[in-house]
Amino acid sequence: MGAITAVSGCSHLATFLLIDFLQFEMIPGSTPKSIGRAEWEAGSEAYATARSVITIGGMLGPVFNREASVAPKRSSTYLTRGIYLLTLFLLLCTGYLVLDGSRSLGANSDAAKFGGWMFRLLAPLQLVILSALAAVGAASNVAQEKDRRTLLLLLMTRLSGFEIVAGKTASALLMPLSLLVVSLPLFLTLPLLGGVAPSQVFAVFLVIAVSVVISAVVGTVVAFWREKTFQSIALTFLVLLLLVAAGEIIASLGPDAVGWATAISPPRALVAATNSMSGLATLARSAEGGFVALGSLFSLAVLVIGIAKVRVWNPSREVRLKAPEPETSEEFQRDAASPEGPASWKVRQPRPVWDNPILWREVRTWAYGRKILLIRGVFVFIFALIAAAVWYQIQSGAAMEPSGRIGRAFPAVTIPVAILGLISLVLVNALAVTSITGERDGLALDLLLVTDLRPREFIFGKLLGVMYAAKELILLPLALIVYLGLAGVMTLESMQYALVAAIGLYVFVTTLGIHSGLNYVSGRTATLASLGTVFFLCVGIAICMTIMVSFRGAFQLQLAPFLVMILGGGAALFAALGWRNPSSAIFTAAFALPLITFYAITQFLLQTDHLYVAAALIFGYGFTTAAMLIPALSEFDVPLEVEPGDSHAESTA
């Protein structure tokens, strides 16, 4: 029993229920005759009373009840809410300062235009952030339980499939839904400016809430289905992307199919909900109302499948005890036939291992599970869809049509290629961070640290191994860039710059994932920090750039809000990268990288010399990669203790 109670995380709850279960059911001779009928009835009544109290109090069982009682005791819960609301408020203030500098907002029409524009900017941003948080949080939460073998304890208790699956789903929804509720008062200030009705705000929030629930349900069920953390996160991400792609494919069939596309795709439903004619009164008769209904039914169906299959999928084949396979090697048969017996205790030839065992394991074994082939297949399918769209634009001559957003021409294929690149970068980063967190949660990292492995062998083995395992995720986007160069969409010189910059970005996201996995004890925290950094650098900078470009005015009026956003993002980036081991190099990289990214995107949109774009990206991200890589190569500095905030919260739960 002492060994069971020592398991951390969710095992605190599982151990309590397991001890009770073993005491009354599984110990041989534990019958009413052996322990006394009075004690048996008292124990059963106490168990039933405690179980009913936990279920009623937690609404969804003890799994959700524990998370609901622990979450308010974490200081990070309130810090996250405050930072999220402050970020939205700064974006709103930035847009106001920039627009007020170019024209006065004294007229009601100008104020209404500003309110409507900011509403249409912040609503999609909130959809992306909260959906990603719910999906990654749900998948990583269940995957962490599998890596730590604490899910087996839950499955051995009296907890039903509904209590386990629905409890995990509801636990993952606590943070994103609380952020959604916290941001509601800020969005309700926009109708005061005009251009937005309160009913539109509530309709948009209902669409976002359904999208968040879909993301959390898919993430939880996929994580219960798959064995590895990377498989869970990647498949969740790809399934949600396929829903969006299905909506776009249906919308391309004709005007009559737009309504069905809106009922399937969350982004299209959100755009329809921000329409001036949308509202709660017309939601039931609109396409976005169909999305709310279909999304709820889809979430319920996926949840029912997870409840029915949770004990079929788990424990997985990798953790089940198997009988040893009979030895059939020629050497064994020869020794067995010999009257003298085997000449040596070794009956099987050992597999040769490279000088770097970490790299050998990553390349020569299924370190991330065999189901990674499924992830590669789904990514190839998405690549085929995007490549077909690019080919059609090239054949129709639309590849070089001007965008018209900033009065300059840039290839129309930029958007699909950028989407494919973002998907690839996110998946590679997720693979890198889970390659470390999986070792830590499986207690293999402790063993590696006491061997004679040198730090550079470990770091370079993981770095090269991750890039080898994700070779399809890297080579296919690079091949598409080569095709664009050969097709004449970009010059051969620009193609070379794009290839070099893309390779630099892949090295950066891989190093970032390894850096986050080594510096954060909690696998979930490491995953969210690493993916959040990639999201900020890709999407956050684009949002900042959109505000600055859309509200054109004098540079001196744009400088103050621009510095607020860039410096604020730099501070958040420094907190994510150097919170444990801060250094002057990471400090410089954290505050310079957002500015360099903004400069590179702006230079690309202005269609100036692409050498400046590639040079800025290579210098900025190369310096940041070196700032994270050099300290890791010098010595092993890996925290193995539990994070203080989490341990205190769990101990007082």
Q: What is the pLDDT of residues 461-478, one digit of tens each?
A: 999 999 999 999 999 999
Residue 173 above 90 pLDDT? Answer: yes
Mean pLDDT in residue range 429-433: 93
Taking the CA atoms of 115, 121, 126 and 131 in sequence, report the sign of the dihedral they define: positive
Question: What whole-number distance in Å separates Cα of residue 316 and Cα of residue 18?
Answer: 20
Q: Which of 20-34, 93-107, 197-211, 283-297 has the lowest mean pLDDT?
A: 20-34
Taking the CA atoms of 589, 592, 596 and 597 in sequence, report the sign of the dihedral they define: positive
pLDDT at position 26, please?
Answer: 37
Residue 553 above 80 pLDDT? Answer: no
Mean pLDDT in residue range 588-599: 86
Using a pLDDT cut of 90, give the percent of the chain over it: 28
Kindly indicate the confidence band of residue 641, based on its pLDDT and cuts at 50, 70 and 90. Answer: low
The per-residue pLDDT of the chain, averaged, comes to 78
DSSP annotation of 643: P
> Cα torsion at 474, 476, 479, 480 (round to 10°)?
-120
Cis peptide before 324 (omega within 30 of 0): no
pLDDT at position 515, please?
Answer: 92
Residue 544 above 50 pLDDT? Answer: yes
| H or E element that contains 563 | helix 555-578
**Closest C-alpha among 179, 185, 181, 189 to residue 96:** 189
Question: What whole-number distance in Å separates Cα of residue 407 and Cα of residue 237?
Answer: 35
Mean pLDDT in residue range 376-392: 91
Helices assigned H by DSSP within 148-228: 151-155, 161-188, 198-225
Residue 464 CA: distances (Å) to CA of 98, 432, 452, 469, 504:
45, 10, 20, 9, 14
The length of the chain, given as a count of residues: 653
- For residue 205, give both structure tokens: 């929030």
Mean pLDDT in residue range 268-293: 80
Q: Which of 296-305, 309-318, 641-650 has the lowest mean pLDDT?
A: 641-650
Residue 322 above 70 pLDDT? Answer: no
Burial track 316-338 (b if 16+ CB lie within 10 A, e otherwise): eeeeeeeeeeeeeeeeeeebeee
Kindly indicate the confidence band of residue 91, based on its pLDDT and cuts at 50, 70 and 90. Answer: confident
Q: Phi and psi dihedrals of 578, rounded to 5?
A: -120, 30
DSSP annotation of 652: T
| Contact predicate 468/434, CB 8 Å | no
- Give the number of other CB atoms < 10 A from CB of residue 549: 13
- For residue 429, give both structure tokens: 């980063």
| H or E element that contains 119 | helix 108-147
Kindly indicate the confidence band of residue 20, based on its pLDDT and cuts at 50, 70 and 90. Answer: very low
Q: Which of 50-54, 110-114, 580-584 has the lowest mean pLDDT?
A: 50-54
Question: What whole-number distance in Å separates Cα of residue 353 and Cα of residue 355?
Answer: 7
| Contact predicate 208/180, CB 8 Å | yes
Q: For residues 96 and 258, which has the higher predicted lDDT (pLDDT)?
A: 258
Residue 148 above 70 pLDDT? Answer: yes
Question: What whole-number distance in Å separates Cα of residue 376 and Cα of residue 372?
Answer: 6
DSSP annotation of 639: -
The CA-based angle 224-225-226, given to 5 degrees, is 100
Kindly indicate the confidence band of residue 339, based on its pLDDT and cuts at 50, 70 and 90. Answer: low
Question: What whole-number distance in Å separates Cα of residue 347 and Cα of residue 288?
Answer: 66
| Contact predicate 604/410, CB 8 Å | yes
Domain segments of the chain as ranges: 8-313, 392-651
Kindly indicate the confidence band of residue 404, based on its pLDDT and cuts at 50, 70 and 90. Answer: very low
Question: What whole-number distance in Å separates Cα of residue 265 and Cα of residue 285?
Answer: 17
- Give the number of other CB atoms < 10 A from CB of residue 384: 11
pLDDT at position 542, please?
Answer: 65
Kindly indicate the confidence band of residue 557, based on its pLDDT and cuts at 50, 70 and 90. Answer: low
**Closest C-alpha among 259, 315, 265, 268 to residue 286:** 259
Q: What is the pLDDT of residues 475-486, one digit of tens each?
A: 999 999 999 888
Mean pLDDT in residue range 607-622: 83
Mean pLDDT in residue range 200-214: 93
**Closest C-alpha among 411, 544, 557 to residue 490:** 411
Residue 40 above 50 pLDDT? Answer: no
Q: Which of 478-482, 487-491, 647-651 has the lowest mean pLDDT?
A: 647-651
Q: Is 45 left (phi over 0), alpha (psi -120 to 50) or beta?
A: alpha
Query: Residue 534 carries which side chain, given as an amino acid letter?
Result: V
| Contact predicate 435/465, CB 8 Å | yes
The CA-based angle 312-316-317, given to 5 degrees, is 115
| Contact predicate 606/408, CB 8 Å | yes
Residue 548 above 60 pLDDT? Answer: no
Q: Which of 51-60, 137-146, 164-173 has the lowest mean pLDDT?
A: 51-60
Q: Which of 103-112, 401-410, 579-588, 619-628 has the lowest mean pLDDT?
A: 401-410
Termini Cα distance of the chain: 21
